[in-house]
Structure 1
């Protein structure tokens, strides 16, 4: 894997880790969000043995610890969005979908609803990253030959192979499999049934979870992919015979092939090479001088 591609993936993961943490933080029902309209700024926001914590103290602490970083983040995103619009910089949906697919394969079991929320956050951050890269790369001359050479050497690393996220319950006999299937039809948990019945010691304690698998994998029976072709996402199969026993397969997520030709990848490779040649970090601050920006922490 090229160092630049690895760096790009790391950046995606860093951005995504922050987004994911914010998502889970905001999704915790145990900690309700206080409506600003219900906060009386003249009253303490907390008391400890009669010692008051004022609204002003709270706001100052938030500003001192998070204010500058968060405000800079807001400005960075708005600067990139405005300049990208001014320069007519667009990012193909196909590239964004490839990165979303890559990030999806790095998730564990995630509900359909939660994954949709994550994808929305990822999409925004991925668009920002590619637009930022394009803006920073402007003016750096990279020859067609350099781009072609890089593409020839590394183009396979930009492709995404079809990948399916599976769980399974593997049992010894069809009678047992039909019993398990009947319980599934009655609404029983697939994961709990896997822990109770499955003879696959490697996956049983994890509820039968097999993770994401490429169609080229040698670790699963080939007919798993034939069975999966008939399934909708977040659904399970009827019992079927495999080389290891009788299986019931659960398809969580199916991600399609995403492939690129030279013309599709050329602008992105050129931007990567431009940033590498200029030793440019992927930060938005150098772009601030292109706009009239005044902010609380200085010019």
Structure 2
């Protein structure tokens, strides 16, 4: 079977399944539309607007026409970068990955340990892809050593990560109430719901006690929070303790360590960053498509 035709068949199957999330049950004509296994009957309209209806088939056709090419291109891009990075022995240091993961964690709201684990897997793939792509685009370019060293001396703090924590809390006025809250937590009650019920911190109770993300040396972190957090595991809550805001129970979402780089450690990544800037090159795979034999149903080359 010709390679081009085979690719076409594969793509049609993938897109018809909407990136593997739609799976036909031929016996009852139902299809799962998300990872929670919510189902719709393919013989029934997927939406109605007054007396007008939208059929399942018209919805699928729109998805194929609107997103099919972009989805396939993204899949090809990932294959290109992975293959060329392997051929050129491009590896990304675990320390760089950890720093990027820490930065992304800080940008997110509270997550359960399970959610954090899943997000980290997704982020890790994206981080490696982005750094490997940068390395491939700048392969063979050079930046003068004195220029890199001067840049590092000026901006080295931006490559480091300071120990930080993400935390929720319940603040009550006395230890007796705090012990009652702790007992309810021990019996399986929701920290978020208890914060809404008991906390006297009006700024956070509506958000289930979510206080935010802080560097551990921040003056805005209440007294005793870091001392309690450094003894805890992520996803657990503390014993009640006295703070400057009342009697507190904290829920530790994450505690992220210091990550500091020497010049030699960050130099390869700094070189790529400066080279991309001098080349005025965005992070796109377009220059890499000619390096491999790529055939797809939309043509031999990228537009």
Q: Sort the TM-score into its range (normalised by shorter chain).
A: 0.7 to 0.9
Whether 2:241 is the aligned partner of 1:240: answer: yes
Normalised TM-score (structure 1) = 0.82
- Tell me the residue number matched to 1:261: 262
For the residues of structure 1 that align with 2:106 and 2:128, how far apart are their CA atoms? 19
CA distance change for structure 1 residues 225 and 296 in 2, over 3 Å: closer, same or farther? same
CA distance change for structure 1 residues 297 and 224 in 2, over 3 Å: closer, same or farther? same
- Tell me the residue number matched to 2:34: none
1:83 to partner: Cα distance: 0.6
Whether 2:143 is the aligned partner of 1:142: answer: yes
CA distance change for structure 1 residues 80 and 243 in 2, over 3 Å: closer, same or farther? same
For the residues of structure 2 that align with 1:107 and 1:278, how far apart are their CA atoms? 32
Normalised TM-score (structure 2) = 0.81
Partner SS for 2:251: strand
CA distance change for structure 1 residues 169 and 279 in 2, over 3 Å: closer, same or farther? same
1:60 to partner: Cα distance: 4.6
Q: Please tell me the root mean square deviation across aligned C-alpha atoms, in Å.
A: 2.6
For the residues of structure 1 that align with 2:55 and 2:222, how far apart are their CA atoms? 62
Partner SS for 2:267: helix
- Tell me the residue number matched to 1:153: 154
- Tell me the residue number matched to 2:95: 94
Whether 2:193 is the aligned partner of 1:205: answer: no
For the residues of structure 1 that align with 2:44 and 2:204, how far apart are their CA atoms? 50
Aligned residues: 266
Partner SS for 1:105: helix
For the residues of structure 2 that align with 1:37 and 1:133, how far apart are their CA atoms? 43
For the residues of structure 2 that align with 1:178 and 1:53, how far apart are their CA atoms? 56
Q: List runs of 5+ in structure 1 lacking aligned partners.
A: 1-24, 27-31
Partner SS for 2:265: helix
- Tell me the residue number matched to 2:294: 293
**Deviation string for 1:212-235 (max 9, x for gaps)?**
111111112332111112211111
**Deviation string for 1:82-107 (max 9, x for gaps)?**
11111111001111111111111111
**Deviation string for 1:65-87 (max 9, x for gaps)?**
11111111111111111111111
For the residues of structure 2 that align with 1:292 and 1:257, how far apart are their CA atoms? 44
Structure 1 ranges of 4+ moved more than 4 A:
51-55, 57-60
Of residues 23, 37, 48, the one that matches 1:35 is 23
For the residues of structure 1 that align with 2:256 and 2:277, how far apart are their CA atoms? 31
CA distance change for structure 1 residues 53 and 221 in 2, over 3 Å: closer, same or farther? closer
Contact 2:164–2:214 (Cα < 8 Å) also in 1: yes
For the residues of structure 2 that align with 1:196 and 1:58, how far apart are their CA atoms? 44
1:115 to partner: Cα distance: 1.6
For the residues of structure 1 that align with 2:43 and 2:139, how far apart are their CA atoms? 51
- Tell me the residue number matched to 1:168: 169
1:287 to partner: Cα distance: 0.5
Identify the structure with bigger relative contact order (alpha carbons < 8 Å, sequence gap 6+).
1
Whichever structure has more helix as a proportion of its residues is: 1
